[in-house]
Structure 1
Amino acid sequence: MNVRLPCRICGALILDSTAERTGGLCMPCKGGYRASIEARRHGRARDHAIATSPQAQLWAALLHQVRQEAAGIQGLSHPQQLYYASSMLLGAVLRGGMQHYFGGVATEHYKLAQDGLMAMGATRALRLLLDARQLLFGAGLPNETARHERLYRRPLFAENEARSAMRLNALNAEFNRLAPDLERRLSAYARQHGLLDQ
């Protein structure tokens, strides 16, 4: 008859023969990988909670509408457009910095992102966006071809522009620090404009 005993560390039930071989430990505890198993389990639960959150569902619906409908972003209400463009900005900067944002398709909605940050009261994030645009392109925002030429030449900044590269890194780091606040502002904006249930 197989008798099961609790692991001395985690309490998981193990066969008595296993407990005898391992000093009373389950194999994950004996091998030292129990923590990584638990971290993955908690990560999956967190990812599921995020994916099923009202904000994630709103984002998925907006993304679907913009990508699948002929009207694209023009088919969204003005508050939806501001939310969408600001969310695109946040995601792009978190993935690869301001240079990633300005080099991607999200820049098509740059003016809406600016307006969205202003409408949400995210003035610090707006200032960082404007500073990055100024640093990368000067006074205006060039067309896509000129942006790509500027952003994808190697290196982005010449050797004598090391301060510019450091400044861009600092802008990216500060924007990343503001990300939780910006996420809260996006959520509040969505609720305020009826995009999310109260």
Structure 2
Amino acid sequence: MNSSEESDPFWDAWLAVSQKEKKAGLESLTCRERTFYALNLLRGAVLRGGFHTYFDLASREEIEVAKRAFRENGAPKIAELVEKAESIIFSNGVSKEFEEQLAQLLCWSEEEIEQGIEPEWSVALDAVNKEFYAIAEVAEAVVVKYFEENYAD
């Protein structure tokens, strides 16, 4: 097998876990899988689109697992940034029901979009996104280390 045909163990594990979660839900995952899923979902979603994107994808339970896992794996600052972003987006806390969470997720109004107005919450959230981007290598290191300790041969 040449190098272009070799699989990537990290990617293979991520695909397996994320497909299992999509098919049967977070509760179907083992503790190890749930932690890997929550860590990598947070890292990837925030890097792709910031915390707004993350909260559009992650349930309250996934958010809680991620915060705990980052704290337990030596990155409390990442968990603090999640909490800071939560307080901006969800003034009454993240709903237990994902559909309610999505309904509560702050969004730009048509007027704001048409007039190019950036709401205060968006400015504040962007500042938190930038804090995360400045230490993104910490999130990456935690995810990779967790994978190596729990999945690598």
Task: Tell me the TM-score normalized by structure 1.
Answer: 0.61
Q: What aligned pairs does 1:34-183 form with structure 2 within 5 A after superposition? A: 52-68=7-23, 70=24, 72-104=25-57, 106-108=58-60, 109-142=62-95, 143=97, 144-145=99-100, 147-154=102-109, 155=112, 162=120, 164-183=121-140
Partner SS, residue 106 of structure 2: helix
Query: Taking CA–CA contacts closer than 8 Å with sequence separation of 6 or more, which of the two structures ends up with the larger relative contact order?
Result: 2
User: Aligned residues, how many?
Assistant: 143
Q: Aligned partners of 2:139, 2:101: CA distance in 1, in Å?
A: 29
Identity of aligned residues (%): 26
Alignment CA distance shift 1:119-1:79 (3 Å):
farther
User: 1:196 corresponds to which residue?
Assistant: 152
**Hey, what's the Cα distance between the residues in 2 that align with 1:140 and 1:183?**
27
Aligned-partner residue type, residue 132 of structure 1? A
Deviation readout 1:4-30 (Å, 9 max, x if unpaired): xxxxxxxxxxxxxxxxxxxxxxxxxxx
Q: Secondary structure at the match of 1:117?
A: helix
Unaligned runs of at least 5 residues, structure 2: none
Preserved contact between residue 103 and residue 151 of structure 1 (Cα < 8 Å): no
CA–CA separation in structure 2 for the residues paired with 1:169 and 1:160: 10
* Residue 146 of structure 1: how far off its partner (Å): 5.1
What corresponds to 1:33 in structure 2? Answer: none
In the alignment, residue 138 of structure 1 is paired with which amino acid? Answer: S
Query: What is the deviation of 1:134?
Result: 0.6
SS in 1 for 2:126: helix
Structure 1 residue ranges without an equivalent (≥5): 1-44
Provide the aligned C-alpha RMSD in A: 2.7
Instruction: Describe the shift of the 1:87–1:160 C-alpha distance in structure 2 as closer, same or farther (beyond 3 A).
Output: closer
Higher gyration radius (CA): 1
Please state how far the C-alpha of 1:78 moved relative to its aligned partner: 0.8
CA positional deviation for 1:84:
0.4
Deviation at 1:127, TM superposition (A): 0.7
Alignment check: 8 A CA contact 1:120 1:186 kept: no
Q: Secondary structure at the match of 1:152?
A: coil
Q: How far apart are residue 83 of structure 1 and its match?
A: 1.2
Please say if residues 38 and 66 of structure 2, whose CA atoms lie closer than 8 Å, have aligned partners that are also in contact: yes
